[in-house]
Amino acid sequence: MNGQHIVDLLPGTDVGGFIVETLLGRGASGAVYRARRGGESFALKLQAHPGMGSWAEREVSILMRLEHPNVVGFRHCGLHPEKQPIWFYLAMELVEGRTLHRWVREENPSARRVVALMRNLAHGLDALHGKQALHRDIKEANIQVREATGEAVLLDVGVGHYAGALRLTQGILPPGTPQYRSPEALAFRRERGRQEDAHYEATRADDLYALGVVLYWMLTDRHPFEAPVTATEVETLIREPPVPPHLRNPRVPEAVSLLCLRLLAKTPEARGEGARALDEALAALVMDDTWDVSLLPDVAEAPPAPMPRDEAEEHEAWMAHGEALGPPRRGKVPLPPVLPLSVNARVSRRFVHPTGASWKGWGLLACVM
């Protein structure tokens, strides 16, 4: 059974007493549904059994260790169907809101607001670490911002680890996302990658580094380094410091920029004593009115970048990942005006992106039948 079959569950399907309502997301090994039981909504995660059973049980073991507002809550788990199990299901708290990536892109927060979110994440991470557990895959996609309170919540500890847990993979590095791996993890792979029995043991410092990558992105709309692929890129991440956030984005206060660089330090011990110490450092930041300014220009207010003169320049600009189009922008993109339909009314074939760049798209010919 794979993720493709799992997402075929229809609304109304009963999984261990949880009634499926709608699909929330899917991956290579499973899917997450919105489900209901007894008048309460849940996030219902299904994974193939027994193929992914060990990872699912690992996630349950971690979530059962704690109840914290900044870590998604465990509610129930089991096998489905009961007689001939095909799936392992995990019912979790349904965190109503948006992923951190989407929330930041749409809300264009200030430095003060980013610090508040970071304190939420430090609290959640401290709770995990306090139970001798690691997340091991902290990134924007695994963080949700509650719609009701604006608090950040850590999600998806499915590749996490805890003291005494069995090793579930054979690779030299534990599961995770390359762009968020620590320098010491990449250095270990570079130095011992040819040893058959070599296996990197992640630590709390790896989680802190990944949190630093998230903070850097929130401050600048860029990651400190691209995902390391070539040997040169790996060496750069291991040895070279990133561009300080306040130099990449002048709206970033220097104090929080320096704190971000501390989390991205090349050695684990330089990142501080842990998540609780990080929270204390965030709380000690002295803020003035400049911390209330949105960190990036708003898409609705910023002037458009100059129009490329021809398609060759246009293509080159987009291939440069937007650098040639001016600084990144955030905020909710305003809806285009509604044009009255008329016979043979033609809309321009050139679409203007909120950043000011444009490209040729499908022509629209509206006809009243």
Binding residues for ATP: 45
Q: Closest by alpha carbon to 135, among 162, 97, 169, 102?
A: 162
**Tell me, what DSSP letter sits at residue 337?**
P
Q: Residue 106: is it exposed, middle or buried by C-beta count within 10 angstroms (0-12/13-18/19+)?
A: middle
Give the orientation angle of helix 254-263 with respect to helix 111-130, to 10 degrees: 30
Which residues are known binding-site members?
45
**Tell me, what DSSP letter sits at residue 52?**
T
Say if residues 115 and 285 touch (Cβ distance below 8 Å). yes
Tokens describing residue 104: 């930041």
DSSP strands (E only) in 84-164: 87-93, 97-99, 133-134, 143-146, 152-154, 161-162
Q: If you write DSSP's letter for every residue of 198-212 in order, what string do you get?
A: ------HHHHHHHHH
**Quick one: how far is CA 2 from the chain centroid?**
24
Distance of alpha carbon 69 from alpha carbon 95, whole angstroms = 10
Q: Is residue 279 classed as helix, strand or coil in its secondary structure?
A: helix
**Tell me, what DSSP letter sits at residue 72?**
P
- From residue 325, alpha-carbon distances to 26, 34, 243 in Å are 33, 39, 20
**Quick one: how far is CA 171 from the chain centroid?**
23
Say if residues 320 and 276 touch (Cβ distance below 8 Å). no
Distance of alpha carbon 123 from alpha carbon 130, whole angstroms = 10
Tokens describing residue 325: 């189009």
Distance of alpha carbon 119 from alpha carbon 108, whole angstroms = 18
